[in-house]
Structure 1
Amino acid sequence: MRRLAIYCGSASPADTTYVEAARHVGRTLAERGIGVVYGGGRLGLMGAVADAALEAGGEVIGVIPEKLVAAEVAHRGCTELHVVQTMHQRKQMFTDLSDGFITLPGGVGTMDELWEAISWSQIGYHQLPVGLLNVAGFYDPLIAFNSQMINVGFIRPQHKDILIADADLDRLLERMAAYEPHETIERMKASNL
């Protein structure tokens, strides 16, 4: 994995656990020679990931929609900063530039990015690993909800392992590196859908 897209919040929660985890991700990826592709902001967890990766000598590529340049205070210290017109273009560029995705804690935008990465994987727009770093149990309810969708049958058996969740970054990276692409919807026969 040469580059990973990092999805995370632009907010800084009062609990510093989340910011420290974001800094750990940025630093670890840089130390492993893995570039960071992220939302292009300098605030919150986004800024923490970028700053830590840059401080450790890593490559950081920001992708930010024009409407959010001022709101998220674009990070001008990135290795590259791409300003795009729409959120769709942002997510497409994340996919085009990356070899996988890691989602850290965040809000609505982070959830949008995570679920779209999973959806695109199911359909066959990409075959990249989709990781979820479960910092301090933040994603326990989401992991349970994903299991519920699998158990009820809204996620096909072929797609149940797309989401790779782990509380440990090193283990998550190992599991992502070992990810075996699944059968995509575009390749499935109608009888299997």
Structure 2
Amino acid sequence: GSPKHPTPMFSAQVEGVILNPPWNVPASIARNELLPTEARRPGYLASMGIRWVDGRLQQRPGPKNSLGVIKFDVPNRFGVYLHDTPAKGLFAQPVRAFSHGCMRLQEPRALALTLLGPQGMSAETLDAGIAAGVTRRIGLARRLPLYVVHWTVRVEPDGRVGFRPDIYGWDRKLAAALPKAVTSASQAAARPARRAPV
């Protein structure tokens, strides 16, 4: 996600794969972005395959769909998706923090095959399901854990320490909190242990 819309750190489970997903537009994106664009450029929503469904904006499956042709079913309290994208050019950018918090995948088809292959899904069957253009959810026989973390430091392939931009400013907050945590822990360790009543 962008600095304005950070992707949270969380754990969840991948429960399935959705082919040709519709996108139910979050109210904040509809209110702050899409409806103002429609007001300036009448017909914009229709050109993007977006319509009103049950009182909210929904983008139909198709080549312009913001979720692409594959979405991974990862229920979580943040409403964050793991999905394909029609904006493939973004993967060429050195920093790819453009979303509203969701995670775009460069190789969603490969991940789908990794998850569904053990259940007998072939590349041909997956491609045929996508080509059909119909929304279809394929549940996983075994749910798999997903951990979303932000690491701004890593060991590079040559063994050197590599640093990445801290686009959310979380390292600064952690660095400011650490001395307080260490002090509190030191004070707790210095206190004499309480004796249990006899």
TM-score (norm 1): 0.26
> Which of the two has greater strand per residue?
2
> Which of the two has greater helix per residue?
1
Higher relative contact order (CA 8 A, sep 6+): 2
